[in-house]
Homo-oligomer: A and B are copies of this chain.
Amino acid sequence: MQVDASETKRQAFFQTVKQLFENELPFNRILGIRVVSLGADTALIAFSNRDELMGNIFQKTLHGGVISAVLDTTGGVAAIASLADRFSELPEEKLLPIFGKIGTIDIRVDYLRPGRGKDFSVNAWVMRSGRKVAVIRMELRNESDVLVAVGTGTYMVG
């Protein structure tokens, strides 16, 4: 039986990203973000509704700020995913400072439908990945696959 070294490294990279985004960023813990998967240029995160995340007491829906926060965060995870080929060989202590330089330059969020639901997922995919900036689109859906919000963000990546 053969060990696939690159798959092992890819898994270690994923675990580093997951650990960072789920546990090290205080506000992400409030959001309850779980990093579900990373692709070459994609990211998938999930989170669940809680009373603390509600913004509208009349409609019992997600706060708009929660929606923009999870879209922004998933875009940031996808930005990191797009760097994996370049950086996945690095040990964790060298990865974290690189991640620390990644940042959102600007974001647009479209609130399409009320954020009703129990469990939510956000997909992000990189539309263009350059040496300096990446442009990424995000979509937030509830457990019934209703499209709640979409976003487009420009991220500094180098």
- Does A118 make an interface contact (CB < 8 A)? no
B27 engages A53 (CB within 8 Å): yes
- Does A52 make an interface contact (CB < 8 A)? yes
- Does A147 make an interface contact (CB < 8 A)? yes
Closest to A75 in B: B64
User: What number of copies of this chain does the assembly contain?
Assistant: 4
In the bound complex, residues from chain B placing their C-beta under 8 Å from that of A53 are 26-27
A30, A31, A53, A107, most chain B CB atoms within 10 A: A107
In the bound complex, residues from chain B placing their C-beta under 8 Å from that of A156 are 132-133
How many angstroms between the C-alpha atoms of A69 and B112 in the bound complex? 17
How many angstroms between the C-alpha atoms of A137 and B110 in the bound complex? 11
- Does A40 make an interface contact (CB < 8 A)? no
Within 8 A of B (CB), among A113-158: 113, 127-128, 132-133, 135, 137, 147, 150, 152, 154, 156
Q: A64: shortest Cβ distance to chain B, in Å?
A: 5
- Between A and B, 5 residue pairs with Cβ closer than 8 Å are A27-B63, A65-B68, A68-B107, A68-B109, A105-B105
